[in-house]
Structure 1
Amino acid sequence: MDRLLPYARWRKGQREIAETIYNVVKDGKILLLGYPTGAGKTIAALIGTYTAKSKNHKIFFLARTKNQVQAPLREISKIEKRKKICIPTVVLQNKKEMCPLAIAKRLSYDEFLRYCDSLVKLDLCEYYLNLKERKNILENGYNPEPSKFVRKFAKLGVCPYEIAKMLTSKVEIVIGSYVYIFSSEIRYRLQSSTGLKLEDLILIIDEAHNLPEIIADMQSIKLYKYQVKLAQREARKFLFGEFAEEILASLSNLYSYILTIERKSGGGDYLIDTSEFLSVMPGLSQLKKAVSIIEKNMVESGILAPSNISRILNLLRAIQSSTYGFVLYSTTTPEGFMIKYQCVDPSITAREVFSRVHAAVLMSGTLQPKDYLISMLALERGRVIEHRVHADFSKQVKLVVHSGISSRYVERSEENFRRIAKIIAILFEKFNNGVMLAVFPSYDFMKKVNVFLPTKTRLYTFIEREDTRLSEVVEFIKERVKSLVLAAAWGKLIEGIELRNGLSLIKSVVIAGLPVPEPSLVNIKREELLTARFLDEEKAWRFTYIIPAVIRVLQAIGRAVRTERDRAFVVILDHRLLEKDAKSLVEIHGYKVRSVDNLRQILEEMSSFSLR
C-alpha cells in the first residue's frame, strides 16, 4: 500500500484505515467506517480497495453531490502523477449535464430526457449516430474530470454520456451518485447497457450517514392535485372517442376523491387507506394506453415535458408493486396539496444491493451506530465490521450542555423561547469575532426565538430561509467583524455550510434544542415497523427519533471543526443530550460532554476556553 501513497507520509490512523479496508475487501465483508474530519479517509479507502481487489472486481465510489465527486478524482490524479501509474477511471453524471447540445441547458431534466429520447429514436442526434461509425473511439485518452471529459468527446463528435457508459465496463474505478446503485430502475438500465454485475462491485459510499433517508426518498412517489387537473386537460386534447370518455370519467373520480381528502385533512398530514385509493384510480392497462397515446401526440405537437397522466401511472405502479414499508398520505406543500407514497423502510431496497456486492465500505464523520445501520440497510450481521477512528476533540472543542432547558414539544412556550433568545444574545454579546452558528430544531422554532432577540443582536443576524444560498451567507459575514447565523437543523446550511479563511470562521455553535424529528405520519409508521421488527418499543423510538437528532447535532458541530487547527465553543440548550444514548453517541465521535446548570457557568466555560 505504501507504494501508492502520493504523500510523504501517512496521517495518524490513515494506514490503519487502509489496512482494515484491504482485509474487508479480501474477505468480502461490509465495513462501517467512522472517522474524524481531516482523517484522510478518501485516499485510504482508494488505496485499501485498489490494492485488495482482484482483476474481476470494480470499485464503485458513490458520492452524494457533484462537489463530493471531486475528492476521489483529486486523489486518483495525485496517485497517477506522483507514482507514474494509470488507474482507469470514469465519472457517471446525469445525461443532461453531459449533453453537448446547447438546448440541454434550457430544458428541465424531464423535458431533456424526452427530447433526447426523441432525437435518438428519429436518428437526429449526430453525437449518438457517430458512435456507430467511430469504433475505436474508446482508445482515445481522456481526463475523467467531468467538464474536461465532456469537452473532449463533444469535440470528437460523440455523445459523452454514452462514452462514459461504455467505459464503465472497462475502467477499474467508477465514480457516481447514489442513484446508480440504489435506484433499482437506474441500476437496471446501467447493468443492461454495460454488463455490470453487483457481485463484481466493491462499493465505497461517502457520507453514508445520509444513505437510509436518501434510499427512502428515491423510492417515494408524489402526485399533486393540480397534476390530476392537468392530466384531465391532456386527455381532452389528445384522446378521442369512447376511450377519452372512459379516461375522463376515471380522472374525474380521482380528482373528486382528492378534493374530499383535502377537506377531511384540513391541509395537514392525513393517512389514506391504500385499498380505498386504488378503488378510485384508473386501471393500469387503461392508464398505460392513455399515456402511450397522449405522449406520442405531445411529442408530435412539439411538447417535450412529460405528461401529467404518466405521473398518475407511476404512482399506481408504485402502490401495486409494494405495500410493505410504505405509507400513503396527503399533505400540503408550497407547491400545493399532494398525495405521497412514502417509503419508510429503506432496508427493502438496500438488501438487494448489500446482499450481492462483493464488499462495501460505508464511511462518514457522523456515522450512526452499528445496530442502526444493520437494521435500516438490512446488512448481514455476520459480514459487518465496524471500525471507528477514535478522535479526541477535547482540546479543540469545549462542549457544554445546559441541564435546565429542553425543547420538547410539551415544553415549548413563549417563556421557553424568550429564555433561549436571552442566552443566545448574551453569548453573542461576549463573542469577540467570527461566526456564531445557532441551530434550531425547525424553521418554526427558529422564528419564534428570533422574535425575542434584541434589536442590536439582529443587526448582526442572518436567518436561514428554505431557499437560502450559501453565497448569501458568505456575503453577509464578509461585511461584519462578527455574525450570528440562525439555521434549521434539517435545512441545507447544516449539510453544506463551510466558512473558512485558512481556519474555520465558525468559532461557536449553539444548539438551541435537540432537533428530534416531528412525530409525523411517516415517522409514526417507521416506528411501528421497527417495533414489530425488534419487539422493543424503546429501541424503535430511539432509532426513529433520538439517533437522527444526535447525528444532526454532530453535523452542526462539524461545520466549525474541519481541520486539526480549528477550535470551537459549543453550547447545547437541551438536557436530553445528557441522557445515556444521546451522550454516548456524541462521545464516540470524540467530544467530551460537560453539564452546566445556568448561564453564568456557560459564560465561565466560554471565557476559560477563549483565554487558553
Structure 2
Amino acid sequence: MATIKIPQEVKDIFPYEKIRPIQDKLILTTYSALKAGKNVIIEGANGLGKTVATLTSCIPIAREKNLQIIHVCRTNKQADRVVSELKEIAKATPVSGVSLRGRREMCPHPLVQKHADDAVTASVLCGQLKKLRKCEYHNRMSESLPHMRNAIKVLKSVPSSSTEINELCEESRICSYELILKLLEEVDVVASSYQYIFNPNIRDTFLKRVSRGLDEILLIVDECHNIIDTSLNISSGQLSIYSVRQALKEIKTFDKLEFLRLIRFLSTELEANQTRSYIEKKIDAKNLLFRMSKEVGATIDHDYSDKLISAGMKIQNEHLARDKSPRSYLYQLGRFIRKLVVTKNRQEFLHLITSYQTRGEGWGVKFEVVSLDARFTTKRVFEYVHNSVHISGTIDPIDAYSKIVGMDQLPLVTEVLDSPYSEQNVQGFIIDKLSTKLADRTPENYDKMCEVIAEAANNTPANTGVFAASYIVLKGLLDAGIQTYINKPFFYETTKMTSSANDRMVDEYKRLADKGGAVLMGVLGGRSSEGADFPGAQMNTCVIVGIPYARPTTRIESQIGYLDEQFYKKGREYGYIIPAIRRAAQAAGRPIRSINDRGLIIFLDYRFSQPYTSRFLPTWLKQNTQLLEYEHGRIATIAEHFFGP
C-alpha cells in the first residue's frame, strides 16, 4: 500500500500520537480538495475519527483564507463533541471555538423556562424581556463589568461547549446564550445545529452575529445524510384544525374580528375533510387561496399574511404583559398563509389536506405545504459558502446525494473510504428466505424471526437492539410472543410514547448493559434507531427486521414523480429505495461508535443481499456482511464465538 503523505501544517496540529490508516486518506482528500478550492463529500465508517480529521484538515485552510469554520450537526451532543476535539487540537495550536444551542435550551430566565415550548415563543419572550429591561441576566451583560470581561477573555482563547458556558454563567448570573452570541464573531470554529445555516429565518440573524457572509464561511456538514430530510422539513409547513380553532378563540378574546370569516372558512374546509382514517388529499393551492379571497372579500396575498402576522405579534405582546405564554395561533396562521402564497405556483411543493391519528388516539386534520426538493433550502447555501465538507457513514451513493442537495454542478471531490473493521470488530449476516414483504408476514415467519432474535440476544453478553421496518412489523413480533423467547429485560417503543418517556426507557436499558444486558425494540427511523448513541456495551448486537420502505402515500408518490422529472427516471431510487436502505444502515451502525467497539449485525430480510439493494449499503457494512442460511442454533453459535474470550 502506498504511503500517504500528510501535509506538515496538518501534522503539526493533529492532537493524537499518530494518524490511523484510512483516517490519513480522509485528511489528505479533504485538505487537498479545499486547497484547490473544491468541495468534498466523504463516506467513512463510525470510529474513524472523522471529526478530528476533518477539523485538522480545515483549520490550516481557514487560517490561510481568513475563513470561519461553521461545523453543523444534528444534535447538541454532536456539537459538544466538536468542542471536545477542539480542546485536544488546542494543545498543539491556539484555536478557539464554541458550541451553540437554541435560546430555549440556554436561557436561564424563569419565564422562558416556564412558557417557551418552542423556538419562536422563546425568541418573543426574550426580546420583550430585554426591551423592558426585565431580564436581570441580560442587564448584567455589559462588557464594562469585571465578570463579563473575565468571561469573554477566557472563552475567546479556550474552546468551550455550551454546557460549560452555561455553568460559567450560572456563577455570574449572566445569560449564556447572549454571551455565546457575543463570542461568535471572535472564535475560529462554531459548532451548531443545521438550523443556524439552513433555516433562512435563523441564518440571517446568525450571519449578522458572526459578522460574515456565507462566502466567508468554510462549512462542515456532519452526518450530512440528515440534511436532506432536515431541508425538506424547513421548507414545509402545516396548519391543524386545533390551531385554527385556537385562532378563532384568540380573535374573539383580543377583538380581531376582521379575520373571523377567514378562520371560519378554514375551519369548515378542514372539518369537511376530517375522517377516522389516514388520508392525504391533494389540493390546488391557487384554488384554495381564490376561495379564501372570495369568502373574505379581499385578496389573500403577502400583504394579507403580513396583517395576520402583525396582529399575532400584538397578541403575543399582550399575553406577555399578562405574564402568560406569548403564543399566538393567529401568528401561526399568518406564517402558514405566507408559505401557501409563496409556494402556490411552484412545482417542487405539494399541497395537501391530511387526516391523521393523534397521539391520544383521536383524529386530527391539517393543511400541509410539503417540500419535494431539498435544493430549495440547500442549493443557495452550498453555492455561496466558500467551500463545504460533507461527512457521513451512510451517504453512498454519493452521486445521488450530490444531485439531491444541488452540488453536482459545483467543483467537487468525492471519496468512499474502506472499512476499518476486521472480523473481530464487526460481523454482519443476512438471513436468507426471511423478509417482511406483506406476503411473508406469516405466523410461521414471525416465529422464526423471534427465534433468530432470541438466539442473538440471549447469547450477547450485554445489550441488543432490535429495529423493525414499521410499527406493524413490531406488533407482529410482539403478537408472536417475542418477549417469551428472550430471557433478558425487554423494552419496546410505542406510537403513543412521548419523547421524555422514550428517553427514560432508553436510559434504563443502557443501565442494564453491565448487568447481563437487555433488549430494546424500536422502529427504523425512530428515536432509538437514529437519535441515540450506544457506545461500548450499551449495544453489542443489532437486529434489523425488514427494509423500512415508506408507505405509498400521496406525498411519497408525488415525490417519486417529481424526482423522476428532475433526475431522469431516478425518482423511485432517490425518493424511495435509498432513504429506506440508509435508515437501515444507520440503525445497523448503532453498536459501532468507536474503532474498538464490537458489533454483531443481523438482517432479517434476504432482500438486503440482492444486487440492486445491497449496492446502496455503505462500504463498511458490505465488506463485513454475508448471506446466511439459517438453521436452529446457528446464530447462537455465531454470537458465542464472536463475543467469546
**TM-score in terms of structure 2 length:** 0.86
Deviation string, structure 1 residues 548-607 (Cα, Å, up to 9, x no partner): 222222222211223343333332222221222321233622433322344359546556
Does residue 247 of the first structure (1) align with residue 251 of the second (2)?
no
Counterpart position of 1:403: 432
Match of 1:351, SS state, is: helix
User: How many angstroms apart in 2 are the aligned matches of 1:499 and 1:289?
Assistant: 46
Tell me, what secondary structure is at the counterpart of 2:540? strand
Determine the structure 1 residue equivalent to 2:7.
none
Q: Which residue of 1 aligns with 2:329?
A: 308
User: 2:56 aligned with 1:24, yes or no?
Assistant: no
Match of 1:181 among 176, 197, 212: 197
In structure 2, the CA distance between the partners of 1:393 and 1:521, relative to structure 1 (3 Å rule), is: farther
The 3-state SS of whatever aligns with 1:348 is helix
Q: Is the counterpart of residue 61 in structure 1 residue 71 in structure 2? A: yes
Local SS of the residue matching 1:216: helix
Q: Give the whole-Å Cα distance in 2 for the aligned partners of 1:198 and 1:610.
A: 49
Q: Which of 520, 528, 542 in structure 2 is aligned with 1:493? A: 528
Cross-structure match for 2:107 = 99
- Which runs of structure 2 are paired with 1:136-285 in the superposition (5 Å)? 140-142=153-155, 144-153=160-169, 159-239=175-255, 244=257, 246-263=258-275, 266-281=277-292, 283-284=300-301, 285=304
Query: Hey, what does 1:343 align to over in structure 2?
Result: 371
CA contact (8 A) 1:239 1:293 kept: no
Partner residue in 2 for 1:596: 628
* Residue-by-residue CA offset, 1:270-316 (whole Å, 9 max, x unaligned): 32332233235463525245425534443444333321111111111
3-state SS in 1 of match to 2:591: coil
Structure 1 residues 289 and 393, CA gap change in structure 2 (3 angstroms): closer
Deviation at 1:376, TM superposition (A): 1.6
Q: Name the aligned partner's letter for residue 490 of structure 1.
A: G
Partner of 2:349: 326
User: 2:15 pairs with 6, 15, 27, which one?
Assistant: 6
- Are the equivalent residues in 2 in contact too, given 1:436–1:508 (CA < 8 A)? yes
State the AA in 1 paired with 2:97.
Answer: T
Residue 442 (structure 1) shift = 1.0
> What is the identity, as a one-letter code, of the residue corresponding to 1:338?
K
Cα distance per residue 1:51-110 (max 9 Å; x no partner): 122252111011211111221111111222x32x42122332222333232333222234
Matches within 5 A, 1:377-388: 377-388=405-416
Question: What is the DSSP-based 3-state SS (H/G/I as helix, E as strand, rest coil) of the residue aligned with 1:406?
Answer: coil
Question: Matched residue of 2:179: which SS?
Answer: helix
Q: Secondary structure at the match of 2:394?
A: coil
2:419 counterpart residue number: 391
Which residue is 1:438 aligned to? 466
CA contact (8 A) 2:460 2:639 kept: no
SS of the equivalent of 1:169 reads: coil
Which letter does structure 2 place at the counterpart of 1:261?
N
Q: Deviations over 1:294-347 (max 9, x none)?
A: 344434443333211111111111121223322222131425332222222111
User: Corresponding residue for 1:510?
Assistant: 543
Aligned ranges 1:511-590 → 2 under 5 Å: 511-536=544-569, 539-586=570-617, 588-590=619-621
- Counterpart CA distance in 2 for 1:391 and 1:115 is 49
- In the alignment, the residues of structure 2 paired with residue 90 and residue 218 of structure 1 have an alpha-carbon distance, to the nearest angstrom, of 24
Q: Give the match's secondary structure for 2:327.
A: coil
The one-letter code of the counterpart of 2:411 is: R
SS in 1 for 2:615: helix
Distance 1:333 1:385, change over 3 A: farther
1:438–1:486: 8 Å Cα contact kept in structure 2? yes
- The equivalent residue for 1:481 is 516
Deviation at 1:150, TM superposition (A): 3.5
* Sequence identity (%): 22
Q: Do 2:47 and 2:592's aligned partners in 1 also have CA atoms closer than 8 Å? A: no
1:204-257 CA distance string (max 9 Å, x none)? 1111121101111122212221111111111111116xxx1x411221111000
Residues 1:291 and 2:312 aligned together: yes
CA RMSD of aligned residues (A): 2.8
Task: Point out the more displaced range, 14-23 or 295-304.
Answer: 295-304
Scaled by the length of structure 1, the TM-score of the pair is: 0.90
Counterpart of 1:255 in structure 2: which amino acid?
A: S
User: How far apart, CA to CA, are the structure 1 residues paired with 2:481 and 2:563?
Assistant: 41
Decide whether the 8 Å contact of 1:511 with 1:571 is kept in 2: yes
SS at match of 1:4: coil
Report the secondary structure of 1:33's partner residue.
Answer: strand
Indicate if the aligned counterparts of 2:71 and 2:219 stay in contact, CA closer than 8 A.
yes
Whole-angstrom distance in 1 between the partners of 2:528 and 2:313: 42
Offset at 1:393?
A: 3.4
Contact 1:38–1:564 under 8 Å retained in 2: yes
User: 1:414 deviation in Å?
Assistant: 4.3
Q: Are the aligned partners of 2:221 and 2:391 in contact in 1 as well (CA < 8 Å)?
A: yes
What is the letter of the counterpart of residue 369 of structure 1?
A: P
Please list the CA deviations of residues 146-202 of structure 1 after superposition, one character each: whole Å capped at 9, or x if unmatched.
233244456556543333223222222111111110001100122234432100110
The Cα offsets for residues 423-482 of structure 1, whole Å up to 9 and x where unpaired, read as 4345545x2532332221012210122111256325633212343534424434655624
Within 5 Å, give how 1:415-454 maps onto structure 2: 415-428=444-457, 431=459, 433-453=461-481
Corresponding residue number in structure 2 for 1:363? 391
Pair 1:133–1:8, CA change in 2 (3 A): closer
Return the alpha-carbon distance in structure 1 between the equivalents of residues 595 and 316 of structure 2.
Answer: 56
- Secondary structure of the 1:504 match is helix
1:76 to 86, 91, 114: 86
| Aligned residue identity for 2:199 | S
Confirm or deny: 8 A CA contact 2:420 2:595 kept in the other structure: no
Deviation at 1:50, TM superposition (A): 0.4
The one-character-per-residue Cα deviations of 1:522-541 (angstroms, maximum 9, x if unpaired) are 221211111001221xx321
The runs of 5 or more residues in structure 1 that have no matched partner are none
Contact 1:421–1:450 (8 Å) recurs in 2:
no
